[in-house]
Amino acid sequence: MKKGTLLCFIGVALIFKEFSDTMEIKGSVNNLLDKDSVDPALPALPDDEPQPGMTCTLVVNYKFQSEPVWRLG
């Protein structure tokens, strides 16, 4: 990569909150165009640290009932 190169990274996230009363689904994609990038290294290190290409994440949250369904006594 040449010095002074302008990079454009695109990230997309979707959240489904109304999916269920107790469930939420989140999905995201980072670096959608799969551009190569590096983080600059310290002057003492010979190479820059490469960053990952396109990454996808899926998160599912489930909320359990706060009151017990049955009670003793």
Pairing of strands 23-30, 12-16: antiparallel
Provide the sign of the torsion angle of the four alpha carbons 43, 47, 53, 58, taken in this order: negative
pLDDT in tens, the chain (73 residues): 555 555 677 889 999 887 788 889 999 998 888 877 776 767 766 677 777 888 999 999 998 876 766 767 6
pLDDT score, position 5: 58
Query: What is the reported pLDDT for 60?
Result: 93
CB neighbour list of residue 56: distance below 8 Å, 6 or more residues apart: 27, 28, 29
Angle at 11 between CA 35 and CA 39, to 5 degrees: 45
Q: Give the pair of three-digit tokens for residue 26.
A: 């989140």
Kindly report the pTM of this predicted structure. Answer: 0.59
Tokens 């996230």 belong to: 13
Whether the Cβ atoms of residue 1 and residue 36 lie closer than 8 Å to each other: yes
